[in-house]
């Protein structure tokens, strides 16, 4: 069971928007930056968002990140079939003294 809680799955039709939540505590999300990763089947995680809301170069602005208190959210607008993947959040936990990950959310495009 992950320290960071994500919904197991979310889905929406092409062109629609989905949001993925990542819930933590004051010892992790509440006091550290959050990053988000996309993992297509059989591939390595790909960075999508870093420092809560920043996109690496090459990541389209359809992907957005935000943080409030002890929760973070990844938003994907204009959903495409190529967005079908697992999405993970990650941050540092000052009590566990380690990087922690969410359990992952599978996005399905209906």
From the CB of 19, what's the least distance to other proteins, in Å?
20
From the CB of 83, what's the least distance to other proteins, in Å?
19
Eight-state DSSP code of residue 30? G
3-state class (DSSP) for residue 36: strand
Nearer to other proteins, 10 or 33 (CB): 33
Nearer to other proteins, 49 or 76 (CB): 49
In what helix (H) or strand (E) does residue 46 lie, and over which residues does it extend? strand 46-49
**The length of the chain, given as a count of residues:** 110
Nearer to other proteins, 9 or 99 (CB): 99
From the CB of 13, what's the least distance to other proteins, in Å?
28
Query: Would you call 84 exposed, middle or buried from its count of C-beta atoms within 10 A (0-12, 13-18, 19+)?
Result: middle
From the CB of 103, what's the least distance to other proteins, in Å?
6
Nearer to other proteins, 18 or 35 (CB): 35
Burial letters 15-28, b for 16+ CB under 10 A, else e: eeebebbbbbbebb
Contacting positions for other proteins (CB under 8 A) = 2, 32-35, 37, 43-47, 50-51, 56, 88, 90-92, 96-101, 103-104
């Amino acid at each position: 069971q992950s320290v960071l809680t994500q919904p197991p799955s979310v889905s929406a039709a092409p062109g629609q928007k989905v949001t993925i939540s990542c819930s933590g505590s004051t010892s992790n999300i509440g006091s550290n930056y959050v990053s988000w990763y996309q993992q297509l089947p059989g591939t390595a995680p790909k960075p999508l968002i870093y420092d809560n809301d920043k996109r690496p170069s090459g990541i389209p602005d359809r992907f957005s990140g935000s943080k409030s208190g002890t929760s973070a959210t990844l938003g994907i607008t204009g959903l495409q079939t190529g967005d079908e993947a697992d999405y993970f959040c990650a941050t540092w936990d000052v009590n566990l003294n380690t990087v922690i990950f969410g359990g992952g959310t599978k996005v399905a495009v209906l």
